[in-house]
Structure 1
Amino acid sequence: MNTAVAQRVQVPDIAAQVTYAMRIMGVSPIPRNYELFYEAYIGSNPKLTRELAALGSKASQEELDAIGAQYFGHHHRTEAIDGAHTKLVGELEGLLRLLKQEQTSLESYTKLLDETFLRITSKNTASVDILKSVIGVLTEATGDTISQGKEMVENVVQKSREMDVVRKELDEYKRIANTDSLTQLSNRRAFDDKLSAIYNTSMTRNVTALILADIDHFKKINDTYGHPVGDKILASVASLIRANVRKDIFVARAGGEEFALVIEGNTEEEAMTIAERIRIALENTPFKNSRTGVNYGPITISLGLCMASEAEGPGELYSKADIALYCAKNGGRNRTMAFEEGMKKDFSKSWLIYRK
């Protein structure tokens, strides 16, 4: 269940409580922050809990990372892999540029030499024999240079091919690392990166929307039919969402039964139309076991939307979209709502309530 409905059901699971705590305190919803708050919540490391509490409600990402580096050394492993990947790609591209320049230079020089030789031999002058001799010597010397250059080029080309294979393997690794295994959508890690990237430029924020979508009554589905059925429904809903949006729209499984979409290049009204298309498609899709005849439906979804221009950063954008999602749930479910400032009053309770 999404934390948007946590207040009405007293948030029965730790994940929802921790996530809600982070949102209320304005902490960016990224995995390494979640791990810190999770450990603080369950109290397995009192020292960590005290240090996190000492930061107060305005902790910077640098302060959180400092604590994370102290207690969780693995925080920087994925950053190191990404850094190595980026460095390799940059070096390969630079090498290929130099290779092309060298090859072009050699080819141009050889062409010029051949043309000069032909022009000289076509003239009937007394100095032809001398000129031929000079050009012959120059040609031989240049031929040796070209031969060596070609060998170097071939070696570099081979190394470039090998590096390209490594790059493709790293690209595939990164794709797998950023993919949710159940739904084959982007996972939470990829979503966090995408969310942060929105604020790398201010040029497109007014035409960029975040949509959070949550399957209605999903806990009841799991409790009634079991988690294997729940997983199949999650995968089916993911496929339906992907099938009803453009290929350039980013779609991720944000966690549990929650999905996230980042829509770029559209107004709020257009983004609402896309959200409604997803909602209606799911509402009209039967969920039935063809072998047993058991009907799992109806399956519906609630969606909350916020434009990037209405938030100062990724954490605030996520929080406001989640508030809109909460209001869609609280308003009867199976609906789409866009964030409005007046919605905030329903989301003001302290996260400490949910530690009970």
Structure 2
Amino acid sequence: MTADRDKAVATDVAEGVLKVMRTRGISSLPRNYELVYEFLNATNAALVRRFNALDKLPTQAQLDEVGRDFLPHHHGMSAVATANRGASAALKDLIGLFEQEQSGMRSYANLLDQSREKLSESGKASIEAIAHLANLLSSATGDTKKNGETAIRHIVESAEEIAHIKTELSEYKRLAAIDPLTKLANRRSFDERLANIFDSNGNSKSHALIVVDIDRFKKFNDTYGHPVGDSVLCVVSRVMKKCLPNEAFVARTGGEEFGIILEGVDQTTALELAEKIRLQTELTPLRDQRTGADYGAITVSIGLCMADDANNAEDLYINADKALYLSKGSGRNQTQTHSPRSEGRQRHKRLTGRS
């Protein structure tokens, strides 16, 4: 794909999303844009059916219900907001307790000052007055101690609540960054990680981007149904995690496409890992564990680009996608490397005769 073609496709998609939102009266909220985009992308048949079943002018509650069912991070972001509100409320209560205790201590200090003044005049005061003052101080001291103990207990409870909310918040953010089917990072996380490869001056370290696309994925869905298609995605995900080092970043970036970011590697190492994934995928059987049915071999096409061969994150992704596009056009089940120093690309042929 050329950069112009990518931009044209992106423009068409954006216009399509806006058109659907306008004609159906959908408000311009970020989560609504994402929902309509997934509907138009049509990679999830169940989501498409649910969206089509909505009223002609759906309410926000109806849209959010679909979003929560099919876009887990859609729900997660709402939960993050709830957790944030909970943390803010707990902190506000905690500050209130401190202010209340501070006010009580000021009152007690004032009482001590008044008592000191009266006791300094004890030669003129009656025994009854001194006894009354002693009782007053004793009562105030007891109340202050009791209030202090209560405040400490509330502070501990508030601190525990804040710690619990913080844990929930971290978990919601983690879930919002994960693809629910494959348990890999999702596109949002991938875009963030990709952008961090280059610093503000456009410099990058020894990084590699690998894009992987499952060959003839639509055939699996059309022939055997979406459950088998989901199994294919999970098989490829497991193969990638098995073949890659622990520090590699792996994400599901689209319907049947994945992105891998490798840090601190040279091109030879990156290519070896890409080929390892390709070969291991082809050798991994796809069978129904219940019936023993064999659905055939899974193959993947791969594109690779080193960060040194790109100007920025967008350029890096476009270059890797070009290499992937060439892999597809050259017969699939192979790895192509984008390399401007050797006429743009290097080809690595399949080790089998399968196309």
Could you say which TM-score interval applies, normalised by the shorter chain?
0.5 to 0.7
Distance 2:175 2:217 in 1: 27
Alignment correspondent of 2:255: 256
In the alignment, does 2:218 pair up with 1:235?
Answer: no
The structural deviation recorded for 1:160 is 3.3
Contact 1:85/1:167, CA 8 A, preserved across alignment? no
Instruction: Tell me the alpha carbon deviations over residues 250-277 of structure 1, each in whole angstroms, 9 at most, x when there is no partner.
Output: 1111111101111112112211111111
Distance 1:262 1:26, change over 3 A: farther
Distance 1:334 1:294 in 2: 23
TM-score (norm 1): 0.57
The structural deviation recorded for 1:154 is 7.0
**Of 29, 43, 65, the match for 1:74:** 29
Q: Secondary structure at the match of 2:197?
A: helix
Instruction: Tell me the alpha carbon deviations over residues 203-231 of structure 1, each in whole angstroms, 9 at most, x when there is no partner.
Output: 97231111110011111222222221111
- 5 Å-filtered alignment, 1:1-356, equals 23-24=6-7, 36-39=14-17, 43-44=19-20, 73-75=28-30, 158-200=157-199, 205-341=204-340, 342-343=343-344
Q: Secondary structure at the match of 2:262?
A: strand
The structural deviation recorded for 1:83 is 9.8
Distance 2:308 2:78 in 1: 32
Distance 1:211 1:169 in 2: 33
Alignment correspondent of 1:131: none
The structural deviation recorded for 1:320 is 1.0
Distance 1:184 1:238 in 2: 8
The structural deviation recorded for 1:312 is 2.6
Distance 1:333 1:228 in 2: 24
The structural deviation recorded for 1:249 is 1.1
Distance 1:83 1:148 in 2: 35
Distance 1:286 1:168, change over 3 A: same
Distance 1:283 1:157 in 2: 57
Alignment correspondent of 2:61: none
Contact 1:323/1:343, CA 8 A, preserved across alignment? no
Distance 2:152 2:193 in 1: 39
Instruction: Tell me the alpha carbon deviations over residues 146-203 of structure 1, each in whole angstroms, 9 at most, x when there is no partner.
Output: x999997776554333222111111111111221111111111221222222234669
Contact 2:300/2:332, CA 8 A, preserved across alignment? yes
1:218 aligned partner, one-letter code: F
The structural deviation recorded for 1:301 is 0.7
Distance 1:316 1:262 in 2: 14
Size of the alignment, in residue pairs? 252
1:302 aligned partner, one-letter code: S
Distance 1:197 1:187 in 2: 16
Structure 2 unaligned residues grouped into runs of 5+: 33-73, 89-145, 346-355
Distance 2:290 2:178 in 1: 30
Bigger relative contact order, structure 1 or 2, given CA contacts below 8 A and separation 6+?
A: 1
Larger radius of gyration: 2
Q: Secondary structure at the match of 2:211?
A: strand
Distance 1:22 1:332, change over 3 A: closer
CA RMSD of aligned residues (A): 4.3
Distance 1:285 1:268 in 2: 26
Contact 1:302/1:335, CA 8 A, preserved across alignment? yes
Distance 1:315 1:82 in 2: 31
Contact 2:211/2:324, CA 8 A, preserved across alignment? yes
Distance 2:244 2:189 in 1: 18
Distance 1:293 1:197, change over 3 A: same
Contact 1:302/1:328, CA 8 A, preserved across alignment? yes
Q: Secondary structure at the match of 1:159?
A: helix
Q: Secondary structure at the match of 2:336?
A: strand
2:210 aligned partner, one-letter code: I
Identity rate of aligned residues, in percent? 37
Distance 1:300 1:161, change over 3 A: same
The structural deviation recorded for 1:45 is 6.9
1:329 aligned partner, one-letter code: K
Q: Secondary structure at the match of 2:198?
A: helix
Distance 1:296 1:21, change over 3 A: farther
